[in-house]
Amino acid sequence: SHGPSPAPPQPQPQPQAEPSRGARATGRMKRRSDAAPSPERTTSKPMIEEGRSAAERSIRKRYLQALALLAGGLLALVWLPSRQGLRGSPTAAAVDVGSLLAGALNASSAPFTQEAAAAINGQLQGLTADEVLRWVAQALPGRVVQFSSFGPTGLVILDRLDKLQLLSHIPVVTIDTLHLFQETHELVRNISRHYPEMKLHTYYPDGFTEGQTFKFDVLHGDDLWTHDFQQYSYLTKVEPTLRALKELDPAAWITGRRRSQGGERQSLPIVEVDSGRLKINPLADWTRDQVWDYIHSHGLSYNPLHDRGYSSIGDSMNTRPVEKGESERDGRFMYSGTNRTTECGMHTHAAKMEAFKREAEAKHEPMKVPQLPCTNCVDVTPDTFDTLVMRASRNFVIEFYSPICGHCRAFAPEYDKVAHRLEQEGVPAFRMDVFSHTIPRAGKDAGFELSAYPTIFFAHVDPTAPPLGAHRLSVTRYEGPKEAQPLLDWLG
């Protein structure tokens, strides 16, 4: 594990980044931003001249981006080998990273790949957090942002960016779900005053702005987070994050995630690829104690809820203090559909869907959805949902799944075994692909509400009730292990 290195020599000033598209947008996007909008350009030239001028500016911009990223590649070529003492041929290894960066001149049209991230991780092995931050800032000038919820790790990164004189070059993005603790809002105000160089961009759920919690709850229901956590996460976290990435268009974003936070983060690398962009985790190998030692020794402000037992802080209604022996994030998402969820909504199914779409767009191909075979299942679509499900004449089992969900892929052969066994007993086993389809309103009203994937229900049918009657279906959700035998045992 590496603590922050001593303050390095003052880096060469970086050119100021061109104001982002998000900074120019008004009205449609509800957020605060310290970035000033660009004045509208006016011209009296004929349309053909204006078109030629716009084309020239676009070419010039692409050319400057290419030069900047090629400079980053040269930096990797010269600086990384000298810093790391690479095994084998330093030049060959460094050329690898230089070409990777130069080959991604525009993250939206030439996205980074998993292979690129693996190669870059190899080059960054052994570097301190400061060196990782300096590297990404110099390798991708004007194309980096920090995403922060102003938790302990994010505060350390923010302070290091300030000490390295990089804070004015790397915008900070935070997502306000409209349901944060008041202490979190106070902390953000204090941090903004302490770091005047910080360019803060606050994104809210689409169509909302600061303080509109009541409006959100009236429109979507104040208990949305309890009965449809995936939808709540999408509206408050995933969609604002995707909008921020689209508006600011970074090639890389910095996060405060650490391996020591447990759960799905235990094998976290320094560099990941997310929808064609690099995701940088400079403190991935820091421990909780290292983070707090830094905060206390440098006198950083932090959320006072940490002193009251909250180790990871999210929304006020579903975050609790952790108990002795629990991991840092066990206090998150309390009562939110399933307590097994240990990752924020921005890292779940909706983000994977967006990645699929971006990949297809980059390749100029139709989106190819994976198929999960099930020879004994009956597939349901919105067109057949009424006939097969709502008007069913006998009891049935139904699975709602997504073909891009790893848990769904693992469970697919198990569910096929269940379907085969139930077929022998005259009980149909339905399934519905929720990546390609949406559950009809009548289905949700009947009790088919999802909080995770896959979700399995047993429906008891009362054939004496009228079709589509309120009491025709009695729906029960399966909460056990996603394996064939436990499910069959539960079905009895």
* Residues labelled catalytic: 344
**Residue 378 φ then ψ, to 5°:** -110, 115
Residue 87's contacts (CB-CB under 8 Å, 6 or more residues apart) are: none
Angle at which helices 90-102 and 47-84 cross, to 10°: 160
Quote the CA–CA distance of 421 and 176 in Å, as a whole number.
Answer: 48
Largest alpha-carbon pair distance within the chain?
81
**Residue 179 φ then ψ, to 5°:** -130, 25
**8 A C-beta contact, residue 350 and residue 233:** yes
Beta-bridged to residue 397, according to DSSP, are: 429, 458
CA-wise closest residue to 31 among 137, 173, 226, 179: 173
**8 A C-beta contact, residue 147 and residue 255:** yes
Containing H/E element for 431?
strand 429-433
Query: Across the beta sheet with 429-433, what order do the strands follow?
Result: 378-380, 429-433, 396-401, 455-461, 473-477
Quote the CA–CA distance of 246 and 445 in Å, as a whole number.
Answer: 35
DSSP states of 376-421: T-EEE-HHHHIIIIIT-SS-EEEEEE-TT-HHHHHHHHHHHHHHHH
Assign 3-state DSSP to the chain and report helix, strand, coil percentages, each to 5: 45, 10, 45
DSSP assigned state of 234: I
CA-wise closest residue to 306 among 331, 278, 282, 272: 331
Quote the CA–CA distance of 45 and 39 in Å, as a whole number.
Answer: 18
Quote the tokens at residue 55: 């084309």
